Chain A
């Protein structure tokens, strides 16, 4: 493959991301919402409006609020972090490939992997609850929001994986404290929250099918999203280009 995306690096990254227990973790992330939905269908019988409430809550809180950042955290930090720790990154760096091509390839695979995990987590519950109040448009809108969230989260977490040996722990603290608590309780922090960006995009794409109370504006999403994306990408590329093997990145 020509250009900044290298097919071999992408294949290697894909093998790395889904190696060992991560494959099972990804499958459980994908299927857990469908399982919750099945339990709901068996136990609850409150009609279509309750199904819509369940689907929206499940997608916003469990999928976009929890599973999406966790999947992105695992894939984003693993894409480089594992290789730096065990020294296998050397095998990529001593090849005739621009280092930023390695980074671009890994970001793309991380994002696609996160989207691949989150998609069944949204689509399967929708298929189980599909009806007048749980529409395809709503599900697709949540998917669009999740795709943007995957891109931003993975870019940030991949940069974090290059920066710190404890990226997974730091990322987890960020997901729990900032995305989980601060951005929900302090309105000013919403305009920095990737979760809020995802929900805002879901609302904007839904044509009224998804309504988020106090969602950030679309222009804020594009501005802040672009700043986060460009900033994290540039910083990670710089770290990788300047990487010297004897030191921690």
Chain B
């Protein structure tokens, strides 16, 4: 199999073409704990936009995120935030924010106090106003004066995000940010993240729930066992997986007739008739999609729908993880 990562281990995603110019770069980064290698020779550069950091549990996602946040030093290699080492100076946190995975937030503070504390620690000139704005962004105005100890899991996630957004960082690192949020809150948070990405913010979201990122992050970094297995747009990654057959669901005016016609086509090596249509497997995606209309026309069959069924992020991810 060939993936972008195999082609070029030093990958650039969404290069910084926007005014923000914010950038996160990892150069040949490895990190080990004793004899355990958590991250192995990973290189990439991230610019503005949303990037999904994917991988099964233990793949090294959180280690990478913590190295980006300057909370872990790489054993080998460099982690650079806007060209400076992430661990070199606390001033990097004026441009960067982290939303950690752990739920814990000081339970004795109210939501407002927590966000205001974050604002004051950033030495913002108008901490109170910034606090109110950040809380409004995550839709927690009504609960802002309640103690965080009384918050639900989703509310804690949102107040953590408000604390991270209060100083309007250029780089936002989120570790499993949608944990505990209900569907409405997730959608609202996704809209907010898209809006921030549109303003040129670099947003990295680590998650093992692929549905969350399917619509949100077009660019992904897929970590498997500490290595960068693939990076880039997930559909592009899928197309480069030439050792995996592409699967399409095809609906037509005569599925049975189309199945018989397709079996004669050399680019198709499997056809299955199901209740939802034909499932067609091919090794040559381009040739099959070009040839399908010709085969249907010759057989006088009308095509109603052609839908790739394994180009979702989930399919790409499972192919990479199961390699």
Contact = CB atoms under 8 A, between A and B. Distances in A.
Interface of A: 6-9, 11-12, 15-16, 19-20, 86-88, 90-99, 244-247
A9 B73 CA distance: 25
Contacts of A7: 120
A95 B121 contact: yes
Contacts, number: 73
A180 B118 CA distance: 42
A9 B122 CA distance: 11
Contacts of A19: 107-108
A6 B122 CA distance: 11
A244 B105 CA distance: 19
Interface string B187-220: 0000000000000000000000000000000000
Nearest to A2: B123
Interface of B: 33, 63, 66, 69-73, 90-94, 96-98, 100, 102, 104-109, 117-118, 120-123, 163
A2 B63 CA distance: 33
A16 B120 contact: no
Which A-B residue pairs are the 8 nearest by beta carbons? Answer: A245-B71, A19-B108, A87-B102, A95-B121, A86-B104, A8-B120, A96-B93, A87-B104
Nearest to A6: B121
B254 to A, nearest CB: 59
Nearest to B89: A96
A18 to B, nearest CB: 9
Contacts of A245: 66, 71-72
Contacts of B91: 96
A17 B46 CA distance: 41
Contacts of A90: 71, 98, 100, 102
A100 B65 CA distance: 24
Contacts of B90: 95-99
B123 A244 contact: no
B104 A94 contact: no
Contact of A88 (B70, B96, B97, B105): B105
B163 A91 contact: yes
B121 A9 contact: yes
Given A19-B107, A91-B106, A96-B122, 18 more contacts: A6-B121, A15-B106, A15-B108, A16-B106, A87-B100, A87-B102, A87-B104, A88-B104, A88-B106, A90-B71, A90-B100, A91-B105, A94-B69, A94-B70, A94-B96, A96-B91, A246-B71, A246-B72
Given A8-B121, A9-B121, A98-B90, A93 B106 contact: no
B124 to A, nearest CB: 11
Contacts of B108: 15-16, 19-20
A137 to B, nearest CB: 40
Contacts of B100: 87, 90
Contact of A12 (B69, B71, B102, B117): B117
Nearest to B105: A88
A91 B71 contact: no
A57 B143 CA distance: 52
A7 B102 CA distance: 26
Contact of B117 (A8, A20, A86, A96): A8
Contacts of B163: 91
Contacts of B73: 244
B17 to A, nearest CB: 27
B117 A94 contact: no
A95 B72 contact: no
12 contacts: A16-B106, A86-B102, A86-B104, A87-B104, A88-B105, A94-B93, A94-B97, A95-B121, A95-B122, A96-B91, A96-B123, A246-B71
Residue of B92, B100, B106, B123 ringed by the most chain A CB atoms within 10 A: B106
B152 to A, nearest CB: 18
Given A96-B123, A98-B90, A15 B66 contact: no
A96 B108 CA distance: 23
A93 B107 CA distance: 18
Contact of A244 (B72, B93, B97, B106): B72
B106 A97 contact: no
A6 B90 CA distance: 14
Residue of A93, A245, A247 ringed by the most chain B CB atoms within 10 A: A245
A7 B123 CA distance: 11
B39 to A, nearest CB: 11
Contacts of A247: 33
A225 to B, nearest CB: 31
Nearest to B107: A19
Contacts of B105: 88, 91
Residue of A7, A16, A246 ringed by the most chain B CB atoms within 10 A: A246
Nearest to A99: B90
A3 B185 CA distance: 41
Given A88-B106, A90-B98, A246 B117 contact: no
B63 A246 contact: yes
A95 B71 contact: no
Contacts of A94: 69-71, 93, 96-98
Contacts of B102: 86-87, 90
Given A93-B71, A95-B122, A15 B94 contact: no
Residue of A7, A11, A93, A96 ringed by the most chain B CB atoms within 10 A: A96
